[in-house]
């Protein structure tokens, strides 16, 4: 006897995927796929790390944290950033926090956004002394550049920032 899994949501046969939360079969059109979601977080909770969710489990466990993650990512993209070369402009700002560090990023922009995301999670709105470095890795005939960076997070009044 040949058993064909039936989708939990639409009840159609050929449910080729399984919900990571409830382990029920889900078809491709009903499943919620989490490709690279939460990729900027340091640690992803177990209930948010599954690749496929049914609609009900997605709404119950993933929707709210995903909306919060996307809001934090948007705030990270809008963060005030000062590089090490701009130290004269930021000399009066306090540097109380420990520096943030990221490694193994694909490009310079991703490095700064990851630093900014970590600062947003800690409740800050500015990065000081941002320093992005790169190194080349050669494996056979394949060359790849890996970026890493450091920055000091702080909180400032955005209206107090002025251009020199």
The model carries a pTM of: 0.84
Query: What is the reported pLDDT for 95?
Result: 87
* Span 120-151, pLDDT tens digits: 999 999 999 999 999 999 988 899 999 999 99
Provide the H-helix boundaries in 34-107: 55-57, 63-77, 87-90
> Would you say residue 161 has pLDDT above 70?
no
Provide the H-helix boundaries in the chain: 55-57, 63-77, 87-90, 108-121
* Span 51-110, pLDDT tens digits: 999 999 999 999 999 999 999 999 999 999 999 998 888 888 888 999 999 999 999 999
- CB-based contacts of 147, cutoff 8 Å, min separation 6: 105, 106, 107, 108, 110, 111, 132, 133, 134
Q: Identify the structural domains of the chain with CATH numbers, from first to last.
A: 17-75 (no CATH), 80-160 (3.30.110)
Query: What is the reported pLDDT for 93?
Result: 82
3-state secondary structure of 28: coil
């Amino acid at each position: 006897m040949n058993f064909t899994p039936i989708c939990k949501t639409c009840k159609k046969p050929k449910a080729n995927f399984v919900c990571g939360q409830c382990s029920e079969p889900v078809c491709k059109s009903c499943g919620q796929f989490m490709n690279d979601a939460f990729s900027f977080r340091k640690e992803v909770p177990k209930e948010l790390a599954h690749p496929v969710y049914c609609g009900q489990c997605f709404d119950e466990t993933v929707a709210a944290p995903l909306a919060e993650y996307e809001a934090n990512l948007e705030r990270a993209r809008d963060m005030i950033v000062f590089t090490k070369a701009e130290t004269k402009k930021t000399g009066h700002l306090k540097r109380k926090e420990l520096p943030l560090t990221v490694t193994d990023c694909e490009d310079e922009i991703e490095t700064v956004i990851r630093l900014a995301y970590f600062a947003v999670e800690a409740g800050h709105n500015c990065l000081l002394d941002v320093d992005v470095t790169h190194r080349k890795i050669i494996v056979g005939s394949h060359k790849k550049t890996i970026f890493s960076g450091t920055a000091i997070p702080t909180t400032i009044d955005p209206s107090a920032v002025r251009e020199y």
